[in-house]
Structure 1
Amino acid sequence: MSRKVVISKTAQKKLENLFEYLITEWSLKVKKEFVEKLDSSIEIIKTQPEIFPESKKGKKLRRCVITKQTTLYYRFNSKRINVVTIFDTRQHPNKLDPEL
C-alpha cells in the first residue's frame, strides 16, 4: 500500500535551505544526486514504512539516513507518511529535540 506523504513546514524549510546550500557550495549536480536519494528513500518509506528503525528521540518516530550528513525523521499510519524534519547530523544532537 502506498501512502500519501505530508511534509511539515519545518522539514520543508530545512529542505529549501539544504538545496540552496548544495547549489551554492557544491553544484547543481550534487543537489540532483541528493534529490534522487531522497526520492528513492521516500518511495521505500511509502510502501514499507516500518523498514527503517524507530528513533529513540520520539514516540513512533522513525529515522531514515539519506546520506551520512542527512537524516529524515517521520511518523506513519495506514494512510499517511508525516515527514517531521530533516536533520543535518553534523549538528549537536540536542538541536534535534525542539524540532520533534
Structure 2
Amino acid sequence: MKRKVIISKTAEKKLEKLFEYLTEKWSEKIKIEFIQKLDHNIEIIRNQPEIFPESKKGKKLRRCVITKQTTLYYRFNSKRINVVTIFDTRQNPNKLDSGI
C-alpha cells in the first residue's frame, strides 16, 4: 500500500524559496532536474520509508539526501509520509533544529 505524502507548511515554504533560487541563480532546467530528483526520492520513501537512515535531530525522524546541498526530513506511519522540512546543507546546522 502506498502511503499518502503530506508536506508541512515549513517544507512548502522552503521548497518555494529553493525553486525561486534555482530559477533565478541557475536555470529552469536545473530547477526541473531538482524536481525530478525530489519526486524520485519521494516515490522511494512512499514505497520503502524505512530505507533512509534515522536522523539524530528528532525522534523517528528520517533523512533523505536529495542533492549534496539539500536534505529532506520526514516521519512516517502505516498510512502517511510527513515531510517535516527541507534543509539546505550550506546553512548553519543549528538552524535545522528550529525547522523540526
TM-score (norm 2): 0.99
Identity of aligned residues (%): 80
Q: Which residue number in structure 2 is paired with residue 12 of structure 1?
A: 12
SS in 2 for 1:64: strand
C-alpha RMSD of the superposition: 0.3
Moved over 3 A (4+): none
> How many angstroms does 1:75 deviate by?
0.1
- Unaligned 5+ segments in structure 2 are none
How many pairs were matched up? 100
Q: Which residue number in structure 1 is paired with residue 41 of structure 2?
A: 41
- Unaligned 5+ segments in structure 1 are none
Q: Which residue number in structure 2 is paired with residue 25 of structure 1?
A: 25
TM-score (norm 1): 0.99
SS in 1 for 2:5: strand
Aligned counterparts of 1:11 and 1:22: Cα–Cα separation in 2: 16
The amino acid that maps onto 1:31 is K
Aligned counterparts of 2:25 and 2:99: Cα–Cα separation in 1: 25
SS in 2 for 1:20: helix
